[in-house]
């Protein structure tokens, strides 16, 4: 009865689900309301809150800068306070010492932009040098080097009195037209928009894909002709550029830069805010960074609590930020490696034009992993399995370790890489299996047991 050859059913192509026109309109409206609301809040809150919002925006820029190293390349930088601090002092130095800006005289906008340019360049150079060192030193040792680098900046560079004017600090007058806290906050928003755009375009480009591939396996990346060292230095330099920009804005926000602002504890807090935000996820990192910048001030919104903390306990509300941040970080690392981004992913995915679902992992492109030849073959014998495969797997519900929470680009890249590797060595049938294996999950096995249950 059995024929020698068996005709397989035609491959089912799953059309990607698209929202209707109304659906798109709803998404655009929600997005505009969110962004507009943010700007509106900045426009109507008191000036000192606008100042804090600008701090949150600067933190977001620094967070995105750190995200390149931490989230994309997968290295730990404990020396970011070095880059940010150097850039802040360079900006203040240029504006005050070279261009003659002072709080009484003011500062013209051109000078402001030039000093920001210098700040970004100095951050990029400082980080580029570190990146060059990173050519030979890998993994955990690199974390040590960045730590030592930050330590050196803190104890040596920040002590050069010509640059930092010792403990009194280097003044940095805000540019004309942006002297008010509110105007400066809007300026910071503009810079954040630029950074987000550059970051987004970068990751979509060939360079971005190359950088993302470094995190998973450098040998695999280099076997694909990716110049590992060059892209690493590139990523570090870009991270330093953003950090430098953040540092420059930091200087003009504070209007007086003191070296105490940039210490080791700050660098640790920055690492934590990126981890809590969600590694490799822009939205998550921005929210996480803003949260850490604003948290110490949130007590002020609840007056009785603030009085209790300040007067009865005699503690600064900021102290709680450290404890809470650390607790959140431990919780994130141990229980929810995706961070804030993972919690928000139903919303962000909906905004990106997908169906709203609390289990977004099952509806994305990952689903295709379960639709390989094997899944289809299985579905012919076990009716339950088809539905099982259809509803998607839980393969990606628990990203391993510090895996980025929600990075379809990354997942696609891995998928492509793993598929290419397995197909060269094994049969095409195993390609889907290889994809799952590359994610470190024994997913196919799990699915099989479940389908057996379904058929019995």
Partner 1 sequence: MRTAVVVGVIAALIGAVLIAGAGDEASPNPYVVIGLVNGAAYGLIALGLVLVYKGARVFNFAQGEFGTLAAFIVYVLIEQVQGTEIPYGIAVLVAVVGVTIVGLLMERIVVRPLLNAPRITVLVATIAFTLLAVGVQVLLFLPEAKNLPGAISAVDAEGTPRGPEIFDYIIEPQQLLIVGVLGALAVILGYFFSKTDLGLAVLATSQDAFATRVVGIGVERMSRFIWGSAAFLGAVAGVLFIPVNLALAPGVMTSNALIPSFTGAVIGGITSLPGAFVGGITVGVIQQLAGWASQNYHFGETALQELIPGFPSVALVVVLLLVLLARPQGLLGTEA
Give me the residues that bind partner 1 (CB under 8 A), please. 74-76, 78, 133, 136-137, 139-141, 143-145, 147-149, 151-152, 155-156, 159-161, 263-265, 268-269, 271-272, 275, 314-315, 319-320, 322-323, 325-327, 329-330, 333-335, 337, 400-402
Per the DSSP assignment, residues forming a β-bridge with 319 are none
Between 193 and 330, name the residue whose CB sits nearer to partner 1.
330
**For residue 384, how many C-alpha atoms fall within 13 Å in the half-sphere facing its CB?**
10
For residue 257, the cross-strand partners are 170
Instruction: Give dist(CA 113, CA 374) in Å, integer.
Output: 59
If the CB atoms of residues 354 and 406 are measured against partner 1, the closer one turns out to be: 406
Nearer to partner 1, 300 or 398 (CB): 398
CB nearer to partner 1: pick between 197 and 308: 308
DSSP H helical ranges for 134-180: 139-155, 161-164
Which CB sits closer to partner 1, 49 or 83? 83
CA angle at residue 433 from 432 to 434, to 5 degrees?
90
Between CA 67 and CA 202 the distance in angstroms is 13
Residue number, 134 or 188, with CB nearest to partner 1: 134
Least distance in angstroms from the C-beta of 75 to partner 1: 8
Paired tokens of 46 = 């008191």
Instruction: Please provide the DSSP assignment of 69-116 as one string.
Output: IIIII----S-HHHHHHHHHHHHHHIIIIIS--BTTTB--HHHHHHHH
Give the nearer residue to partner 1 in terms of CB position, either 150 or 175. Answer: 150
Q: In angstroms, what is the minimal distance from the CB of 120 to partner 1?
A: 24
Which residue, 289 or 382, is less far from partner 1 as judged by CB? 289
Which one, 80 or 371, has the nearer CB to partner 1? 80
User: What whole-number distance in Å separates Cα of residue 32 and Cα of residue 40?
Assistant: 11
> Please, what is the minimum distance in Å from the beta carbon of residue 16 to partner 1?
32
Q: How far apart are CA 241 and CA 195, in angstroms?
A: 10
Contact 214, 280 (CB under 8 A): no
**Rg, Å, the chain Cα set:** 25
Question: Please, what is the minimum distance in Å from the beta carbon of residue 183 to partner 1?
Answer: 34
Q: Exposure pattern of 113-152 as b/e (b: 16+ CB <10 Å)?
A: ebbbebbbbbbbbbbbebbeebeeeeeeebbebbbebbbe
130: which 2 tokens?
């570190």
**DSSP letter (8 states) at residue 30:** H
DSSP notation for 414-455: HHHHHHHHHHHHS-GGGHHHHHHHHTT--HHHHHHHHHHHHH
441 C-beta neighbours (distance < 10 Å), count: 19
Nearest approach in angstroms of CB 178 to partner 1 is: 33
Residue nearer to partner 1 on the CB measure, 113 or 141: 141
Q: Looking at beta carbons only, is 24 or 319 nearer to partner 1?
A: 319
Q: How far is the CB of 442 from partner 1 (least distance, A)?
A: 13
Cα 289 to its chain centre, rounded Å, is 10
């Amino acid at each position: 009865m059995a024929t020698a050859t068996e005709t397989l059913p035609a491959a089912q192509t799953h059309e990607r689900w698209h929202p209707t026109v109304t659906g798109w309109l709803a998404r655009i409206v929600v997005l505009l309301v969110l962004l507009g609301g943010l700007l509106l809040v900045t426009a109507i809150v008191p000036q000192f809150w606008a100042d804090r919002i600008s701090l949150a925006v600067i933190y977001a820029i620094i967070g995105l800068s750190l995200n390149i190293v931490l989230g994309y390349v997968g290295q730990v930088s404990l020396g970011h306070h070095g880059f940010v601090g150097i850039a802040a002092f360079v900006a203040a130095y240029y504006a005050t010492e070279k261009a003659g800006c002072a709080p009484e005289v003011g500062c013209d906008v051109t000078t402001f932009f030039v000093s920001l340019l210098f700040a970004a360049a100095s951050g990029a150079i400082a980080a580029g040098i570190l990146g060059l060192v990173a050519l030979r030193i890998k993994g955990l040792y690199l974390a040590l080097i960045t730590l030592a680098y930050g330590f050196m900046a803190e104890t040596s560079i920040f002590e050069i009195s010509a640059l930092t004017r010792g403990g009194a600090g280097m003044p940095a007058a805000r540019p004309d037209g942006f002297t008010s806290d509110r105007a400066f906050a809007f300026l910071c928003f503009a810079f954040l928009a630029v950074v987000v755009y550059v970051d987004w375009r970068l990751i979509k480009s060939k360079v971005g894909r190359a950088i993302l591939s470094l995190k998973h396996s450098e040998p695999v990346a280099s076997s694909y002709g990716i110049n590992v060292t060059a892209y690493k230095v590139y990523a570090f330099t870009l991270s330093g550029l953003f950090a430098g920009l953040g540092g420059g804005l930091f200087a003009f926000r504070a209007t007086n830069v003191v070296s105490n602002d940039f210490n080791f504890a700050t660098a640790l807090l920055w690492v934590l805010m990126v981890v809590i935000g969600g590694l490799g996820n822009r939205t998550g990192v921005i929210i996480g960074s803003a949260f850490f910048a604003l948290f110490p001030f949130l007590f002020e919104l609840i007056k009785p609590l603030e009085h209790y903390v300040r007067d009865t306990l005699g503690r600064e509300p900021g102290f709680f930020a450290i404890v809470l941040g650390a607790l959140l970080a431990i919780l994130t690392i141990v229980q929810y490696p995706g961070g804030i981004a993972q919690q928000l992913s139903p919303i962000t995915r909906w905004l990106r034009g997908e169906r709203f679902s609390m289990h977004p992992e099952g509806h994305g492109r990952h689903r295709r992993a379960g639709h390989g030849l094997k899944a289809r073959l299985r579905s012919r014998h076990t009716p339950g399995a088809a539905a099982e495969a259809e509803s998607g797997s839980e393969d990606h519900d628990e990203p391993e370790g510090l895996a980025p929470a929600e990075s379809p680009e990354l997942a696609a890249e891995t998928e492509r890489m793993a598929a290419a590797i397995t197909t060269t060595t094994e049969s095409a049938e195993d390609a889907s299996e290889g994809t799952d294996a590359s994610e470190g999950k024994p997913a196919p096995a799990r699915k099989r047991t479940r389908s057996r249950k379904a058929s019995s």
